[in-house]
Each structure stands twice: as C-alpha cells, then as structure tokens.
Amino acid sequence: MGKDKGNSEWLGPLASVWKSTLPAPTPGPPQPAVAIDGQQSDKLELSIGLKVLANTLKAFGATTPSLDVQFSKARKVSFTFTNVTSTAVAPLVAGNYLASGDLNSNNPVIRRYFLDEDDSDGQAYLIYDVLKSSSITVSASDDKGVGVKLDVPAIQGLVGAKVGVNTANSSNSTLTFNGPAPVTFGFKVMEINFTNGRWSVEGAEASGGLAFSAGAAAGGGGSDSLGAPIILRAGLLRI
C-alpha cells in the first residue's frame, strides 16, 4: 500500500512492485485470531462510534447503515469483534522475497511511493496480516456509563434481512450484528524504506492516516462519505 499527501491507496500485490528470484509469498489459510477475538475497544464518542458501525454494516451489506435516531439516547459506544480470523504472510518469508530481488523502478507510480521522487510525501507499506470478522457487538451507554436500551426490532428493520441483529444482554444495551460473510476490519503493516543504499522494513505506528475507506480496501480506491477511518485500539486500524 502507498500513502501520499495523507491518503492511503492499495497499490497492488507485492509481485507487481518487486521482482525477485523467489516465488511471491502467498498468504496461508485463515486462522483464528485468538489474541484479538473478543477484545473490546475503548468507549468512543457516539458520533465517531456510529461511523465505525455504519462502515461495518455497509460492508456486511446492510441496506441502511445510519442508526442515529436509534442511538440518540447514547453518548458512548464500544465494540467487540468476534469470530475473528487472521490471513497472513510470515514476515520472514516476505523478507526473503524482498532480499532476493529489487524494486521494479521503471514504473512511475512505484517511483513516487518507494523512491520519494520530486520531494513527494510518498511512503510504501507492506500489508502482511489481514483481520476479518463476520460479527460485531456494540454496547451503548449514557454519560454515566449506564447501558442505554436499544430498539432491536426497529434496528433490524433498518439494516435489512442480510444482517442479523441479536441482543446480548437483558437490558438490550448490547447488540450483536452478524453479517453473511467475514469482512476485513483491520490489518498489520511494515513500512518499506530505502536507506544508505539498502532496502529495509520497520514497524509502523497505528494511525488513522494508514487506514483505507471501505471502497479502497476492496481495491476500488476513492473516498468514503463516512469520513476518516478510526483506530479502535492500538495496533488495529479501522478500514
């Protein structure tokens, strides 16, 4: 992926930007992400949280992802992703591929992001782990942290038949939304640098500037009317 002037773009598979004597690394099958599954986010301001929820429901195929009225009594929301899977390439395998080749520098797009030509702000990153989930649980609370009752039938009617809505507690302040198929909600990256005549990779700090809009994550590019993506917690980027 590339980042330039504050925008992140999916540039293509590694083999399209790097020529190597080794075969391009391929991701392994999805594995349960035990360390992430069930982890709850911090409590977010309602306006921010509803953007996160709307993006997720949109990816699930919901017909109307805006739920402002149904959450109007809430002031904070937190999220829990369940059934999380990780689809990854081992960093060492990717490193061997990079070490056995070099950049396809004839491509002007690649030069902009990798070689920082014309004093551009281009940066290049290697996505090595993609996180997916088919279920998101939302907890709504007021200013005092007390759960706020949500209208489950009304919310189900708004999101449509493709997305299941179930209450997770007796007060109906926590709802679980189940999509028809897993969708990407986060990823892990390493920054690729050219320093002192050598290629290197280093960790990248979690930042909203590294996240994609829903369309760009699918390879379509472009912006999302819901605004900037959100960091749910350190190390995980909202897409």
Q: What is the mean pLDDT of the segment spanning 94-118?
A: 83
**Percent of residues, the chain, with pLDDT higher than 90:** 39
In this structure, which amino acid lies at residue 116?
A: D
Residue 59 DSSP SS3: helix
Under the banding of pLDDT at 50, 70 and 90, the label for residue 92 is very high
What's the whole-model pTM score?
0.78
Q: What is the mean pLDDT of the segment spanning 228-234?
A: 48
Position 120 scores a pLDDT of 60
pLDDT over threshold 90, residue 135: yes
Q: What is the mean pLDDT of the segment spanning 210-235?
A: 46
| pLDDT per position as a tens digit, 65-75 | 789 999 999 99
Q: Mean pLDDT across the chain, nearest whole number?
A: 82
Check residues 86 and 170 and name the one with the higher pLDDT: 86
Closest CA to 55 of 164, 172, 216, 188: 216
For the beta carbon of residue 145, count every other beta carbon within 10 angstroms: 9
